[in-house]
Structure 1
Amino acid sequence: MTIIACTIDAIEPLTPTVNRVLLTPTTPISYQSGQYLQLCLTAEDKRPFSIASHAGSKQIELHIGASVADNFSSQALAHLQQLFAAKQPVLAEIGLGEAQLRTDSDRPLILLAGGTGFSYIYSIAQTLAKQQVNRPVFAYWGLRDQDALYHHPQMQQWASSNEHFTFIPVIQNPTTNWQGRTGLVHQAVLDDFASLAGYDIYIAGPFAMAGVVRDAFVEHGAERENMFCDAFAYI
């Protein structure tokens, strides 16, 4: 995989603990919706992040956590901030992974994300919206708290403008004014579908979550060959 230099166009907060990073490759590069890149902090230290922008976008969007409890992400963000302040590019490997959107399928889709895994399904959802697909799409996003629902308006807009697109945020620790779904995001899917047979399922989130979801969904009828998640290669 070729390492590409990218200008850092912006680093801006989406929530108190998540930042949007906008990059522009200095060399034309192609990738597919649902793939990821690796930021090269050093020649040996490469950190993967899902690409949130859709395939064909010249600018790459990332969603990177800034929590002090998450050294993996916060150290990468600090590296980017240092380069941004110095007006220096960041090196990245772009277009990695095997869990990209399968555009040759006509099966209905379930997109499931936990936390900043949302960037993965956001990329896929944007592509589906641009293609104006007429197969059903159900996008589930699980979060601990509702104030972490960045890009919520965009997802709601797509849902309201496309009868085939359904967006379901699921909050673990809701406040009293939350009127949406609560609990674990994969349980919401299990509650909504009598069987997961016949669906293409795209999953992103922590490794521990991905393993639980994979096992629960297969038991609920999902076909393993139609479940896509890069974490499956490591668990």
Structure 2
Amino acid sequence: MATGVKQALLQPAGLSFDCHSADDLLTAAARAGIAVPASCRNGVCEICEARLLSGSALNTRNQQTIMVGESLMMCRTKALTDLELEIDAVMAAGQNPPKTFQAKVADVRAISHDVYRVELQLNRRRELSFHAGQYLSVNLPDTDPCYFSIASSPLAQAVELHIQATPEWVSAQKVIDALIQGPEVTVEMPHGKACLAAAPEKPLLFVAAGTGFAQVKSMVDYLRETRFDQPVALYWGVRRPEDMYLRELAETWQREWEPFTFVPVVGDDEDNDWSGHHDQLVDAVLRSGFDWRNVQVMASGSPVMVYTLMDALVGAGLPEGDFHSDVLEYAPR
């Protein structure tokens, strides 16, 4: 039997990962941060079924070699050579087609003076595939969809949201009222291209303003689950200390996860000019010491913040293709 590390390429996503001799394909994909749908580890559910396009693989249940063109279960297959597989259930970043779901409202609770944590449960959870960092829409009758980042990992059973709402913010407050009053809500997901379909191959810098932290939480949970070991930093900017609604969580990540660094950036309470705080956040990021030629940046916040940050980092040497934000898609300039 051939030994050593092999490469597997998943089509049509174009995602590749290393396969060590002791690992089945499902384990190897998970180590690379590629979420292959599965609900068992012995080939019974058949959700991780793929078709072998090229190479040689071994069925670990019957020790038979799998031929090109045959189907296989990734949870009970090992790579004998480099492989190319076809699996429609795995999509590249931003390519998951949105679907509509009825979600049960499991919990709604205030976690700060103006932010609510929402937990939704989906009866058809096995049908849902999304990438860390994507977002959903809450669709209420007779109103436009309201969009919120998913704060939970793609591997979590429940879907978590962080919704900032006050009576002055009519649309968000209407959503919170509906979630509190009704047992179910209609959601459409996933949306967004600024996400992680696989673990990055370089250090990662998160820059978030306000509830942009929700998108970061999804990606951090995902990276911790996949044991990502490259340097990761979070710069979280808010107007006032009380706006940093889950600061203790970010501090816990820093204590418990060796690659992670958390830098809170809090504005001057006496000067609530938001554009000024954006400049303060950008200045802090520029002083981070990252090699801008070798880092991937994920930014979550208002268009003003995101474009101010992008211009500064590209000017400092960051390749524009390494800067990612949903703002670039929904608010192009």
Match of 1:10 among 107, 112, 115: 107
Relative contact order (C-alpha < 8 Å, sep 6+): which is higher? 1
Q: Report what 1:134 is aligned to.
A: 229
Q: Report what 2:174 is aligned to.
A: 75
**Aligned partner of 1:65: which letter?**
Q
**Aligned partner of 1:172: which letter?**
G
Q: Report what 2:190 is aligned to.
A: 95
- Counting only pairs closer than 5 Å after superposition, residues 55-74 of structure 1 correspond to structure 2 as 55-74=154-173
- Within 2, Cα distance between the matches of 1:77 and 1:231? 24
Question: Shift of the alpha carbon at 1:195?
Answer: 4.7
* Cα deviation 1:131-184 (Å, max 9, x = unaligned): 221100011111111122222222212211222110111100359xxxxxx972
- Counting only pairs closer than 5 Å after superposition, residues 19-38 of structure 1 correspond to structure 2 as 19-28=116-125, 29-38=128-137
SS state at 2:111 partner: strand
Q: How many aligned residue pairs are there?
A: 225
**Aligned partner of 1:119: which letter?**
A
Say which one has the larger Rg. Answer: 2
Q: Does 1:221 align with 2:317?
A: yes
- Counting only pairs closer than 5 Å after superposition, residues 34-45 of structure 1 correspond to structure 2 as 34-42=133-141, 45=144
- Within 1, Cα distance between the matches of 2:266 and 2:195? 26
Q: So what's the TM-score if we normalise by structure 2?
A: 0.64
Question: Shift of the alpha carbon at 1:26?
Answer: 2.0
SS state at 1:184 partner: helix
**Aligned partner of 1:185: which letter?**
L
Q: Does 1:107 align with 2:202?
A: yes
Contact 1:31 1:56 in 2 (8 A): no
Pick the structure with more helix per residue: 1
SS state at 2:205 partner: strand
Q: Report what 2:58 is aligned to.
A: none
Contact 2:199 2:223 in 1 (8 A): no
Q: Report what 2:267 is aligned to.
A: 172
SS state at 2:228 partner: coil
Question: Shift of the alpha carbon at 1:80?
Answer: 1.9
* Cα deviation 1:25-80 (Å, max 9, x = unaligned): 12121211100001101376111100000111110110001123433422322232
